């Protein structure tokens, strides 16, 4: 359902700003005046060209202090690592995809942030035999227990988009094959179809602005609907500016 248009700027905190979705969130928000992104990161990193935002660099233990100081309307969490970047170590992988995500969510709740958008993955399941899916599922369950006024969990399939840095061989092959494979994925497998990272970022921004309470999960199709609503709101903003 379409909600009233944005009357910003609304302050939205973002963790995971250097990833594929995080960078697209920054680009989209920087294109208008309805949202102001407040990035929080462990280290300095190049930002997308034309980025208009505030970036706070601090150790994760201090992120709560940053959130308490800036008091954003919502938190978008696009944190995540890969098996390779974690040194193929389960504890190191879990430290980012579970522990850091959970600690950030808890800090946001203590700072009075009412909304959180968590970028997870299609197939996330705490009972999965696959480490990646199991950790994602465990993280979703843990964050849900924090009881934000509103929690939106995104379940994108394979992400399409230009990544900074290396791309895993298997992922590169899957992206090349996606146009052929996607139409063959139906039923329970449809959730794994590829989706553009920009669309996921649009959905994350739109959902971060919603005020109705509850816990919601969004597959590819639900994210497409949320992205369309964000574009409508952004278009209204452009008309008002004109």
- The per-residue b/e assignment along 195-204, b for 16 or more CB within 10 angstroms, e otherwise, is bbbbbbbbbb
Indicate the burial class of 132 (C-beta count within 10 angstroms; 0-12, 13-18, 19 or more).
middle
Query: Residues 214, 224, 129, 164: is their CA dihedral positive or negative?
Result: negative
Q: Does 136 participate in catalysis according to the annotation? A: yes
Indicate the burial class of 90 (C-beta count within 10 angstroms; 0-12, 13-18, 19 or more).
exposed
DSSP 151: E
For residue 97, which phi and psi values (nearest 5 degrees)?
A: -70, -20
Question: Which of 62, 132, 149, 232 is flagged as catalytic?
Answer: 132
Residue 14 and residue 171: Cα distance in Å, rounded? 25
Question: Which of 136, 149, 192, 232 is flagged as catalytic?
Answer: 136
For residue 214, which phi and psi values (nearest 5 degrees)?
A: 135, 180
Residue 192 and residue 182: Cα distance in Å, rounded? 8
Q: Does 2 participate in catalysis according to the annotation? A: no
Catalytically active residues, by annotation: 132, 136
């Amino acid at each position: 359902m379409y909600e009233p248009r944005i009357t910003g700027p609304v302050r939205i905190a973002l963790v995971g700003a250097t990833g594929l979705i995080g960078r697209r969130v920054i680009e989209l928000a920087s294109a208008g005046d309805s949202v102001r992104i407040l990035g929080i990161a462990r280290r300095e990193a190049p930002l997308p060209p034309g980025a208009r935002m505030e970036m706070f660099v601090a150790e994760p233990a201090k992120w709560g202090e940053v959130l308490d100081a800036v008091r954003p309307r919502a938190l978008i969490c696009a944190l995540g690592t890969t098996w390779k970047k974690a040194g193929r170590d389960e504890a190191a992988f879990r430290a980012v995809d579970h522990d850091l995500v959970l600690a950030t969510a808890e800090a946001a709740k203590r700072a009075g942030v009412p909304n959180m958008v968590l970028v997870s993955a299609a197939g996330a399941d705490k009972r999965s035999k696959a480490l990646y899916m199991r950790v994602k599922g465990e993280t979703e369950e843990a964050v849900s227990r924090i009881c934000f006024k509103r929690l939106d969990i995104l379940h994108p399939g394979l992400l399409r988009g230009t990544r900074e840095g290396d791309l895993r061989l298997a992922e590169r092959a899957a992206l090349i094959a996606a146009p052929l494979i996607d139409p063959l994925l139906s039923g329970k497998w449809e959730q794994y179809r590829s989706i553009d990272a920009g669309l996921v970022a649009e959905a994350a921004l739109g959902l971060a602005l919603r005020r109705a309470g509850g816990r919601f999960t969004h597959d590819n199709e639900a994210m497409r609907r949320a992205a369309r609503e964000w574009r409508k709101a952004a278009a209204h903003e452009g008309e008002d500016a004109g």
